[in-house]
Amino acid sequence: MEKYDHKQIEKKWQAEWEKSGVYRADESADGSAEPCLDTRLGRGIERPKQYVLDMFPYPSGEGLHVGHPKGYIATDVYSRMKRMQGYNVLHVMGWDAFGLPAEQYAIKNKVHPRAAVERNVVRYKDQLLSMGLDYDWSREINTTDPEFYKWTQWIFIRMFEKGLAYESFEPINWCPTCQTGLANEDLEGAVCERCDTVVEKKPMRQWVLRITDYADRMLVDLEKVDWPESIKESQRNWIGRSEGAEINFKIKGSREVITVFTTRPDTLFGATYCVLAPEHALLVELKEHISNWDEVAKYCEDTKTRTEIERTAEGREKTGVRLHGVSVINPANDGELPVFVADYVLGHYGTGAVMAVPAHDERDFDFAKKYELPVVEVVQGGDVSTSVFIGSGALVNSGKFDGEKNEEVKKKITDFVKGRWVTKYRLKDWVFSRQRYWGEPIPIIHCEECGVVAVPEKDLPLKLPQVDSYTPTGTGESPLALIDEWVNTVCPKCGGPGKRETDTMPNWAGSSWYYLRFIDPHNDRTLVDREKEKYWSPVDMYVGGAEHATRHLIYARFYHKFLYDIGVVNYEEPFMRLQNVGLIIAEDGRKMSKRWGNVVNPDDIVAQYGADTLRLYEMFMGPFRQSVAWSTESIIGPRRFLERVWRMKEKLGEVGDMGAGEVVLQNSIKKVGDDIESFGFNTAISTLMILVNEMEKLEVVPRSAYETLLKLLAPFAPHLTEELWSEMGNKGSIHLSLWPTYDPAKCVASEATIVVQVDGKMRGQVVVPADADEGVVKGIALANPSVSKWIIGKSIKRMIFVPRKLLNIVLEEV
Ligand code: ANZ
Ligand code: ZN
């Protein structure tokens, strides 16, 4: 009997699929009134569309390691099942190739970024192809392709026309290492996300997108999407909507007022001082009144280089300076209060000024202790002489409001002092300028006569010029500023001399809308055909890392809503379902990285064990969302499993039935389908393993049962199943065959949840078929990383098994 030889099978089928185009999306329904039909059962049934998408990669110089494809394999399994179930599937791949990493790689390796990207794309694509992924490669896109970034620039111009892209001169985050301005989303705490350098605040001219205009819709529409709750919650926090009051405090002896923003107007009677942010414009206006101006001015100057994260860090010692000669009147009780400047109050949130209530606000409490300011309790329930009280309770020291519940007087007190009830957001406008070479040029021309003018649409794409030196200038200008022939141009409005904008876009620009271009990748008239878009959008299933929660996923939703408003797209949200992929970490428990020398290259695994084994292993390692450690040793398990499926063909018979195993078969059809649908790939695979155990007990394996097994396994092991399917004499690809259906009557709900103990301590739970024996339960339990981590490296002495309930694994003593 010939052995399972992945080397022969895999390359052969990859070439065959490429030739026959099995994974091409059916375009017959694109932009036409005709539905797309499934005729596999003879009569035509309408095929619903299914758009499955991966967060497309930046093709790095190092190529893929085994951690990268985990998400791609998952969407591949998912889209294969969907295709077999009769969906018209769109599953696509492209390259997010602009941005700092590509540029830094190019500088380090002394190649032009374009050449580096081209080379890396070839390598990435080869690697993905070797894994048998079912992408429709006829739709491949690359964000650095002028035909693509023409539309990235086009969107910018539309935003500019609507007043959503504007020039600003405010201090922004500046990374001294990367030598570029950055958005808040590019920071990890106080440091640059790319290079870990502490960022500075630097005043400079830049382009900014008015994402805050969409804050509310982005918040409300989270209800419309089926995303992990944790991701929705990070977006809610990032957007940071807060309701509260704006209240005016009159400045004594002046006509000016300090307007504060507070979410706790109920504590107004307990305010004992006010604080202005160092950036607050009133400070300069009050200069005449401030007797210690020099001290104040120095404090403000010193604040400039400190980031917000630093300023608001919990537990950081509070600092500030009192404004001598300035005081304000509390509108609730006419009390006279001192005023400070302190950097724990931020210039860009609320009104840049607060009323401080030390009894009920942590930061104010710390500050008041340090500067010996009074603490006045107004909400009962704690002991404010020793600690701050932030709970709720009845009011005291609050005039006519005494005795009322604090929660209920917020609006009443606001009205009492003629305040305004308002909504504020933490989200900031998006700093969109980068002073780097490798990005989309911002399509703007500066003219002395006309001001800022957009590049006319007919001149798009505005191509990135070839340069000799693309290293940053260090002056805060992009390298493009050094190319006179490029900078000097004609104003499209008046024909006079103009200068091109030299900043480029951030690497998030292309990824904010790329998913639309896959729908219509070769359209040179519009970004995407509206009818095609209507058919394919929104993305039904989107898979990628959770680290994108407050970056790419915020930006893309903003872009999408804008495109909706200008009539480019038909739906308000881009991604209906989202699944987060857990990391694969290295065997040593660290992140896989060249730096640690612990990288496993998928090419080696594919060569030695085959792509099908790699795929099965990655889906079996543990729950999809969790991070798991790679173990080259464990790959042999999935490989042996495939060999067993391969050998089973020797026992095939045309007739015969599964006998008692029929229930297992029926259950497996249901469970594998349900599990793939919910991204429970590891349990789908255990189900298949149980089914194979059952089938191996038979003298003769019925052909129909074997075919069902192959179909259920096909999404995970597409090459092996295709080979066996064709050997059995079937016409056409197994990947276009009908997904098996089950008979609910024959499929008893017979599962049991078994508690797994190691040396008597509970280490996990596994779901198994109710009649599973000790061996089966052991196999499933050991596949569970939370159990196996207690066992690795030790030997099992004996096991105590209580059917349907418990498995206790007792280890040898060491
Ligand atoms: C008085 C007060 C009393 C406050 C109290 C809180 C508790 P969120 O929920 O994040 O919106 N605040 C307002 N503007 C600020 C700024 N620019 N920089 C720093 N802090 C600022 O927080 C709103 C609260 O944060 C406001 O309510 C204000 O302090 C402070 F017992 O006002 B509060
Ligand atoms: Zn940096």
- Distance between Cα 271 and ligand 1 center (Å): 12
Q: Identify the residue whose C-alpha is closest to ligand 1 atom 27.
A: 262
The top-scoring range by mean pLDDT among 32-36, 175-179, 457-461 is: 457-461
Q: Identify the residue whose C-alpha is closest to ligand 1 atom 31.
A: 360
Return the ligand 1 atom nearest residue 357 CA.
Answer: 3
666, with CB counted inside 10 A (0-12, 13-18, 19+), is buried
User: What pTM value is reported for the model?
Assistant: 0.86
Q: Coil, helix or strand for 540?
A: strand
Place of tokens 């958005």: 183
pLDDT at 787: 86
Q: Are 728 and 702 in contact (CB under 8 A)?
A: no
Return the ligand 1 atom nearest residue 347 CA.
Answer: 17
**Which ligand sits closest to the CA of 348?**
1
Neighbours of ion ligand 2 (CB under 5 A): 175, 177-178, 192, 194-195, 197
Return the ligand 1 atom nearest residue 360 CA.
Answer: 31
pLDDT band (50, 70, 90) for residue 77: very high
- Distance between Cα 404 and ligand 1 center (Å): 22
Q: Identify the residue whose C-alpha is closest to ligand 1 atom 22.
A: 263
Return the ligand 1 atom nearest residue 356 CA.
Answer: 1
- Distance between Cα 245 and ligand 1 center (Å): 10
**Which ligand sits closest to the CA of 191?**
2
CA 724 to chain centre: 39
Return the ligand 1 atom nearest residue 344 CA.
Answer: 19
Return the ligand 1 atom nearest residue 424 CA.
Answer: 11
Place of tokens 């876009």: 505
Phi first, then psi, for residue 493 (nearest 5°) are: -90, -55
Mutate to test the pocket of ligand 1, among 238, 243, 261 (most ligand atoms within 8 A of CB): 261
pLDDT at 33: 61
Mutate to test the pocket of ligand 1, among 354, 426, 428 (most ligand atoms within 8 A of CB): 354
pLDDT at 525: 95
Return the ligand 1 atom nearest residue 277 CA.
Answer: 17
- Distance between Cα 547 and ligand 2 center (Å): 18
- Distance between Cα 262 and ligand 1 center (Å): 5
**Which ligand sits closest to the CA of 100?**
2
Selected residue with higher pLDDT from 799 and 468: 799
- Distance between Cα 183 and ligand 2 center (Å): 12
Return the ligand 1 atom nearest residue 242 CA.
Answer: 11
**Which ligand sits closest to the CA of 391?**
1
Q: Using one digit for the tens of pLDDT, what is the confidence trace for 627-680?
A: 999 999 899 999 999 999 999 999 999 877 888 888 899 999 999 999 999 999
**Which ligand sits closest to the CA of 196?**
2
pLDDT at 440: 97
CA–CA gap between residue 578 and residue 575 (Å, rounded): 7
Q: Identify the residue whose C-alpha is closest to ligand 1 atom 8.
A: 242
pLDDT at 813: 83
CA–CA gap between residue 332 and residue 670 (Å, rounded): 67
Q: Using one digit for the tens of pLDDT, what is the confidence trace for 19-31?
A: 999 999 988 766 6
CA–CA gap between residue 56 and residue 286 (Å, rounded): 53
Partners of 49 in the beta sheet?
A: 88
Q: Using one digit for the tens of pLDDT, what is the confidence trace for 321-378?
A: 999 999 999 999 999 999 999 999 999 899 999 999 999 999 999 999 999 999 999 9
Q: Is the peptide bond before 461 cis (omega within 30 degrees of 0)?
A: yes
Q: Are 505 and 154 in contact (CB under 8 A)?
A: no
Q: Identify the residue whose C-alpha is closest to ligand 1 atom 5.
A: 361
- Distance between Cα 198 and ligand 2 center (Å): 8
Poorest-pLDDT segment among 20-29, 138-147, 242-251, 688-697? 20-29
pLDDT at 1: 55
CA–CA gap between residue 417 and residue 409 (Å, rounded): 12
What tokens does 588 get? 């040593």
- Distance between Cα 420 and ligand 1 center (Å): 15
Q: Are 180 and 472 in contact (CB under 8 A)?
A: yes
Mutate to test the pocket of ligand 1, among 242, 349, 384, 387 (most ligand atoms within 8 A of CB): 349
CA–CA gap between residue 241 and residue 262 (Å, rounded): 13
Q: 643: which residues sit within 8 A by CB, 6+ positions away? A: 4
Whether residue 749 is predicted with pLDDT greater than 80 in this model: the reply is no
pLDDT at 364: 96
Q: Which is it for strands 49-54 and 539-544: parallel, antiparallel or unpaired?
A: parallel
Return the ligand 1 atom nearest residue 350 CA.
Answer: 14
What tokens does 395 get? 């009011």
pLDDT at 195: 86
Mutate to test the pocket of ligand 1, among 263, 275, 340 (most ligand atoms within 8 A of CB): 263
CA–CA gap between residue 693 and residue 685 (Å, rounded): 12
Q: What percent of the chain has pLDDT over 70?
A: 99
Residues 408, 412, 414, 416: what is their CA dihedral angle, to the nearest 10 degrees?
A: -150
Q: Identify the residue whose C-alpha is closest to ligand 1 atom 32.
A: 262
pLDDT at 46: 82
Q: Using one digit for the tens of pLDDT, what is the confidence trace for 428-467?
A: 999 999 999 999 999 999 999 999 999 999 999 999 998 8
Inter-axis angle of helices 703-713 and 718-727, nearest 10: 150
Selected residue with higher pLDDT from 764 and 714: 714
Poorest-pLDDT segment among 104-113, 381-390, 492-501, 512-521? 104-113
- Distance between Cα 180 and ligand 2 center (Å): 8
pLDDT at 306: 81
Q: What is the mean pLDDT of the chain?
A: 93
What tokens does 777 get? 């339960």
pLDDT at 9: 96
Partners of 37 in the beta sheet?
A: 46
Poorest-pLDDT segment among 145-154, 406-415, 762-771? 762-771
Whether residue 512 is predicted with pLDDT greater than 60 in this model: the reply is yes
Place of tokens 């602009």: 98
Q: 640: which residues sit within 8 A by CB, 6+ positions away? A: none
pLDDT at 108: 86
- Distance between Cα 159 and ligand 2 center (Å): 27
Q: Using one digit for the tens of pLDDT, what is the confidence trace for 374-418?
A: 999 999 999 999 999 999 999 999 999 999 999 999 999 999 999
- Distance between Cα 701 and ligand 2 center (Å): 61
- Distance between Cα 438 and ligand 2 center (Å): 15
- Distance between Cα 620 and ligand 1 center (Å): 48
CA–CA gap between residue 543 and residue 92 (Å, rounded): 12
Q: Identify the residue whose C-alpha is closest to ligand 1 atom 11.
A: 242
- Ligand 1 neighbours, Cβ below 6 Å, are 242, 261-264, 267, 277, 345-346, 349-350, 352, 354-355, 357, 360-361, 424
Helix (H) or strand (E) holding 77: helix 69-84
**Which ligand sits closest to the CA of 343?**
1
Q: Identify the residue whose C-alpha is closest to ligand 1 atom 1.
A: 262
- Distance between Cα 82 and ligand 1 center (Å): 50
Mean pLDDT confidence for 569-597: 92
End-to-end CA separation in angstroms for the chain: 44
- Distance between Cα 291 and ligand 1 center (Å): 28
- Distance between Cα 64 and ligand 1 center (Å): 46
Assign residue 449 a region (left: φ > 0; alpha: ψ between -120 and 50; beta: otherwise): alpha
Assign residue 180 a region (left: φ > 0; alpha: ψ between -120 and 50; beta: otherwise): beta
Q: Coil, helix or strand for 626?
A: coil
**Which ligand sits closest to the CA of 410?**
1
Mutate to test the pocket of ligand 1, among 219, 262, 378 (most ligand atoms within 8 A of CB): 262
**Which ligand sits closest to the CA of 308?**
1
